Structure 1
Amino acid sequence: MRTLILSDLHLGNGGPYDIFAGAAELPALFDSFTRTPTHVVLNGDSFDFLLNDDPLAVDPQRTLEQARALVTSAPTAPALKALGRVLAAGGRATMVVGNHDLELALPDVQEVIRSALGQPREVASRLEFRDGTAPLQLEVGGSRVLVTHGEHTDVANRIDYASLLSSERANRFRYPPGSVLVKTLLNPLKHQHRMRYMDLLKPDFEGAVMVALGVKPDALKVLFNAGTLTLIRRLLENRGLAPAFALEPMDAVGASDADAHLARSLARVDLKDDEVDALLSVLDPEKLNAFDNPEALGRARLKLAKAGFAFYARLHRAVAGRTGTDYFALEPGKDELAETARLGKKYNPQAVVMGHTHAARWHEGNGPLYANTGTWISLLRLPAPEASDEEWGEYLAELQGNPSLDPVKQRHARLEQRFTFVEVEPHASARGATLRLSQWTDQGPKTLRSADLPAGS
């Protein structure tokens, strides 16, 4: 059966935090796959259960309410109805759990999703759900294609499935640090300070917070708790010290794993002593800013923003200075290739397909073909790698003046959409399949890369 693989849609509830950008395009894509039976694989983060102000806990009743809000929202409902039409045409679907929709592991939530497909129960039952405890292994035309969301390699977003799937979930399960940062810092920044671009930096939430510090550090002053500030202060003070001389943050009361991840990321930024002092004078609500140093603070902000954007830039740009259509490059990084090789050695597939990073990818080498399906949220252009500090300053000033990314005001910080997906089609007259990385456009699908896969031995 022909197979369509997408990931990181981030379908929302219609509220102010929504980031899904393909409300018109996704139903059109699904409808184009109703002519022949198709297996649709939604490979993680299909929904976003973090885009609300609810407490971060797997509460059964609240989770059901969140699921109902998601499936009935104006951008999401048409997409689910279109998916239902794929099933009605003889297809089937698999939703893989991701770190933004780990609630899909709950049977009651699964029933809410099925009920939103607009199909009879026997048709809706062709939608199945899979957790991420093991990769999904498909066979298309005799070719083996391994599909996994990819959060298992990201320590800040890795899901503890043993606790999530336990009958003692309420007492044992803890959300990953990345989810905690979304709830405690990124959502308030978006809501209170209209920093829409925070969510576009997924999945590097620590980097997003550093960008916020670079653009508007005082916005975080009221959001950091005492434990977070203590951890940050201690780790910054310990920079360059041998472990025997480093101060232990014993007084970091209330600090979480998410705080620790963030503090360590900040400590890795090459800040000078006066820049550290200037930054802490802004962040610590108990300080009176008596020793303000605008020049040092400006340098610190620039370094933090560039460090925060660095991971995002590496994901989306492979060649320094590239512009135009080549800006969002397809060549993967070393970590992605290493994980592809590891999975290839363990499972022996002809292709590995992942998501999670939001960066569409393609690589053909000695091992299995690697593709990443990208995302269906907007992408943010950054200054060129060789940009001067002055150019970066102009970019940050624009973000500060246009935090909601009003298109009319976009000059340097511009948004683009690149609705990418993977299609695997069995060969008609021989064993094997063709795998394509494509982009949905106003004219329909546009193939970015394509390769023939041999049948597995």
Structure 2
Amino acid sequence: MRTLILSDLHLGNGGPYDIFAGAAELPTLLDSFTRTPTHVVLNGDSFDFLLNDDPLTVDSERTLAQARALVTSAQTAPSLQALGRVLAAGGRATMVVGNHDLELALPEVQAVVRGALGQPANVASRLVFRDGTEPLLLEVGGARVLVTHGEHNDVANRIDYGSLLSTSRVGFQYPPGSVLVKNLLNPLKHQHRMRYMDLLKPDFQGAVMVALGVKPDALKVLLTTGTVTLIRRLLENQDLPPAFAIEPRDANMPSEADSQLARTLAEVDLDDEEVEALMSVLDPQALNAFDNPDALGRARLKLCKAGFALYARLHRKVAGTTGTEYFSLEPAKDELAESERLGKKFSHQAVVMGHTHAARWHQGNGRVYANTGTWISLLRLPAPDASDAEWGDYLQELQSNPSLDPSKQRLARVEHRFTCVEVAPKASAPGATLRLAQWKDQGLQTLGSAELPAGS
């Protein structure tokens, strides 16, 4: 059966925090896959249960209310109904749990989602749910394709499935990245209209630094949310056993600790004057920042550039002047290493992930790696060689247009790149064709394609 793989939709509840950008495009894409039976795989973060002000706890009654708000939203419901039409046409669907929708592991939430498909129970039952304790292993035309969301390899967003899936859920804690969203990013968006915070996902550490640079006084909220406890949790989370038994990394590869909030903030090269000026804004008992505005300006610029650098590292190139050629599909070394590890461990010819929001394509060593990208907006950055003055203009625009009003976008502009992976069995021979594609102009445009032989 032909397979369509999507991830990181971040379907929302219609509230002010929503970030899903494909409300018009996704139903049309799904309807285009009703002509022949199709297996739709929604590979993590299909919904976003963090886009609200509720306490961050797995409470059955509250979680059910959140699920109902999500599936009935005017922006979300048409996509779920389109998924139902895929099932009614003889297809099936698999929804993989991600770090933003780990609530999908709960049977009562699964029932709410099936009920929103607009189909009889026997059709809706063709939607199944999977947690991330093991990757999804597909066989299409005899070719083997491994699918996993990817949060298993991200310390800040790794899910403690042992506690989540237990009957009592005693001891379960949300990943540190989720805590940052609730305790920091949501208040920044609500109180200071910093909509661009969401576009920096999933690198929440970078978002913290950008917020410090654009509007440091807004980060006083950070000092009231147990920052020290959060940093400690980020470090302690390194000991959480990852899903499907990751082997120790090679000593020459970047350490997982490099992605931690504490290390990230510490790596920003602020001199003593800049630290003092920044702390005078964050700490009401410190001296007034305007005693040294030059030092504060330098600190803010360094923090913003460091934070955006983490975002740019994920997308490789989110800057430029050549039309829509802002994004590189070539993965970084750590992405390739993990895809190669998984491919070898499970003996699969192709590995498909999500989570990073960065569409990827790579062929090599007899294996294919693809990342399905995201269906939220992406933020264009200044060119890599931009001067401090150009960066200053960019940050000034973010200050004056934090909600990213399209009519006011000049430098800090958003882009959309709705991507997916399609795996189609060959018609006349064993094997399959796997392609990374972008939905554009009412059709799928191929970004990368490979022929996969049937496995032995």
Fold similarity call, TM over 0.5: yes
Structure 2 partner of 1:302? 301
Q: Is the 8 A contact 1:43 1:148 kept in 2?
A: yes
Match runs of 1:46-445 below 5 Å: 46-169=46-169, 171-225=170-224, 227-228=226-227, 231=228, 257-258=233-234, 261-289=260-288, 292-318=291-317, 323-445=322-444
Deviations 1:72-97 (A, max 9, x none): 00000000000000000000000000
Amino acid corresponding to residue 312 of structure 1 in structure 2: Y
**1:226/1:4 Cα in 2 relative to 1: closer, same or farther (>3 Å)?**
closer
> Retained in 1: the 8 A contact 2:331–2:362?
yes
Secondary structure of 1:423's counterpart equals strand
C-alpha distance in structure 2 between counterparts of 1:353 and 1:54, whole Å? 33
Asked whether the equivalents of residues 180 and 258 of structure 1 are also in contact (C-alpha less than 8 Å), the reply is no
Indicate conservation of the 8 Å contact 1:321/1:386, yes or no: no
| 1:250 equivalent in structure 2 | none
- Whether contact under 8 Å (1:341, 1:367) holds in the other structure is no
- Answering whether residue 452 of structure 2 is matched by residue 453 of structure 1, we say yes
SS at match of 1:398: helix
Q: Is the 8 A contact 1:316 1:359 kept in 2?
A: yes
Q: 1:15 to 1:254 in 2, by over 3 A?
A: closer
CA distance in 2, matches of 1:173, 1:385: 41
Per mean C-alpha deviation after superposition, the further-off stretch among 160-169 and 90-99 is: 160-169
| Residues paired across the two proteins, number | 433
Note if contact 2:205-2:264 (Cα within 8 Å) is conserved in structure 1.
yes
The CA distance in 2 between the partners of 1:59 and 1:6, in whole Å, is: 28
Deviates more, 1:11-20 or 1:324-333: 324-333
Instruction: Tell me the residue number matched to 1:239.
Output: none
Structure 1: how far apart are the matches of 2:225 and 2:418? 41
Aligned to 2:25: 25
Distance in 2 between the 1:454 and 1:290 partners? Answer: 63
Q: In 2, Cα distance between the equivalents of 1:15 and 1:319?
A: 28
Distance 1:216 1:123 in 2: 50
TM-score (norm 1): 0.92
Residue-by-residue CA offset, 1:278-298 (whole Å, 9 max, x unaligned): 111111122242773111111
Q: Counterparts of 1:320 and 1:334 in 2: how far apart (Å)?
A: 21
Give the C-alpha shift of residue 321 in structure 1: 5.4
CA distance in 1, matches of 2:95, 2:154: 20
Per-residue deviation, 1:274:
0.8
From the superposition, tell whether residues 75 and 173 of structure 1 become closer, same or farther in structure 2 (CA, over 3 Å): same
How far off is 1:319 after superposition? 9.4
When residues 224 and 367 of structure 1 are mapped into structure 2, their CA distance, relative to the original with a 3 A threshold, is: farther
1:107 is aligned with what amino acid? P
Q: SS in structure 2 opposite 1:412?
A: coil
Displacement, 1:317? 2.6
- Mapped partners of 2:332, 2:363: distance in 1: 13
Percent identity at matched positions? 81
Structure 1: which amino acid aligns with 2:177?
G
- Mapped to 2, the partners of 1:151 and 1:259 lie a distance apart of 16
Is the contact between residue 344 and residue 367 of structure 1 (CA under 8 Å) also seen in structure 2?
Answer: no
Report if aligned partners of 2:277, 2:289 keep a CA contact under 8 Å in 1: no
For 2:32 and 2:358, the matched residues in 1 are separated by: 24
Matched-pair contact (CA < 8 Å) for 1:117–1:124:
yes
- TM-score w.r.t. length of structure 2: 0.92
Say if 1:308 and 1:272 are closer, same or farther in 2 by CA, change over 3 A. Answer: same
Question: Pairwise CA RMSD of aligned residues?
Answer: 1.6
Q: Could you report, residue by residue, the CA deviation over 1:121-172 in whole angstroms, capped at 9, with x for unpaired residues?
A: 0000000000000100000000000000001111000111111101221x31
* Aligned residue number for residue 250 of structure 2: none
In 1: Cα distance, 2:230 partner to 2:345 partner: 41
- Structure 1 residue 344, shift from structure 2 partner: 1.4
Cα deviation, 1:168-223, whole Å, max 9, x if unaligned, reads 21x31001110000000000000110000000000001110110001000011134
Inter-partner Cα distance in structure 1 for 2:220 and 2:43? 37
Q: What is the distance in 2 between the residues matched to 1:60 and 1:309?
A: 37
1-structure distance, mates of 2:435, 2:381? 28
